[in-house]
Structure 1
Amino acid sequence: MRLQALAKLPGRSESQIVDQALAAYFSREYEDKRDGALIRRLDRIARQYEGLRRGQIISAEAFALFVRYFLTVIPPVDTAHKEAAKAQGQNRFEGFLDSLRTVLADGDKILFSAVDDILVDESAFFTAEELKRLHEPAPARPRKREAAADG
């Protein structure tokens, strides 16, 4: 069906299209294009993974920093006040959960909007061509004596 549709174009015939398709298939053009598409997809997945990983590390570090600060500045509670402190802690925690639900529902991510400015963009990643150039041997440098004799 696609072959017949392509053959209707001016200057095209079914046999010409089939010949071109077979030539491309046997000359590995098809595989090169497919491999290029796969590399681009894998690169995109790798960037997404790195973004997720970075976000997870930032979240974990922020949480650890908060816990360390919290444990440092909170004074111990007298035994007589423990029940009142538990009740107050429960109320505060419920308030925290309400705030978290609101932030997540609104889509306004406080931490990530603040961190977005310091994260790298896609230009910091290597392309397939740049990786190939990195693995190519460096050109030979002239020796000092040869360079002096030339000059």
Structure 2
Amino acid sequence: MQSKTRMNVYFDPALLKQVEALSLRRNVSKSAVIEAAVASFLSADASERLEAVFARRMDKLGRQIDGLDEELAILGETVSLFVRFWLTITPPLSETAHASARAKGAERFDGFLQTLGRRLATGDRFLKELSRDVDSLRSDSLNSDSGRANGDPA
């Protein structure tokens, strides 16, 4: 058995409470917690481990940003297709119809805002629904294709 040398050190009370809490959680002595912390601090590869932690975090953030980029592209395409479709099918209004169209438009826009508020409050998101719909269509397509491959009629 390797002998250890005793050392007396002073800790900030808050830090000592953290050491005590960790030793209780891990069911080890406070000396073992301190020894592991000092060994980690003095080890040559501590900076490499820290760099690896940062690299993993940066990779995760990069994937999240990629997902946001895709969602933003979908939103932009959706809005542009809607505007193009709406401009294509909507005939111009006569001067006499402008006032009633504005009033009806304001009423419909208020309804839209109320619906939007409800959806945001419940956490429903169009892109989540869209991805669920696309996923279900893909799985239905795969199931029907595998059924045909097994000789099942379509």
How far 1:74 sits from its partner (Å)? 0.7
**Structure 1 residue 25 corresponds to structure 2 residue 49:** no
**Structure 1 residue 42 corresponds to structure 2 residue 55:** no
Task: Kindly provide the amino acid, as one letter, of the partner of residue 39 in structure 2.
Answer: A
Q: Would you say the 8 A contact 1:103–1:109 is kept in 2?
A: yes
How far 1:7 sits from its partner (Å)? 2.9
**Residues in 2 aligned to 1:49 and 1:85: alpha-carbon distance in whole angstroms:** 41
Q: How many residues align?
A: 110
CA distance change for structure 1 residues 116 and 37 in 2, over 3 Å: closer, same or farther? farther
Which of 108, 111, 126 in structure 1 is aligned with 2:124? 108
Relative contact order (C-alpha < 8 Å, sep 6+): which is higher? Answer: 1
Q: Would you say the 8 A contact 1:25–1:31 is kept in 2?
A: no
**Residues in 2 aligned to 1:41 and 1:117: alpha-carbon distance in whole angstroms:** 31
SS in 2 for 1:76: coil
The TM-score with structure 2 as length reference comes to 0.59
**Residues in 2 aligned to 1:51 and 1:107: alpha-carbon distance in whole angstroms:** 18
The TM-score with structure 1 as length reference comes to 0.61
Task: Kindly provide the amino acid, as one letter, of the partner of residue 115 in structure 1.
Answer: S
SS in 2 for 1:108: coil
RMSD (Å), alpha carbons: 2.9
CA distance change for structure 1 residues 117 and 83 in 2, over 3 Å: closer, same or farther? closer
Could you tell me which runs of 5 or more consecutive residues in structure 2 were left unpaired when the two chains were aligned: 1-15, 24-28, 136-154
Task: Kindly provide the amino acid, as one letter, of the partner of residue 109 in structure 2.
Answer: F
Which of 20, 28, 31 in structure 2 is aligned with 1:7? 31
> For residue 58 of structure 1, what is the aligned residue in structure 2?
74
Q: Would you say the 8 A contact 2:119–2:125 is kept in 1?
A: yes
**Residues in 2 aligned to 1:76 and 1:8: alpha-carbon distance in whole angstroms:** 80
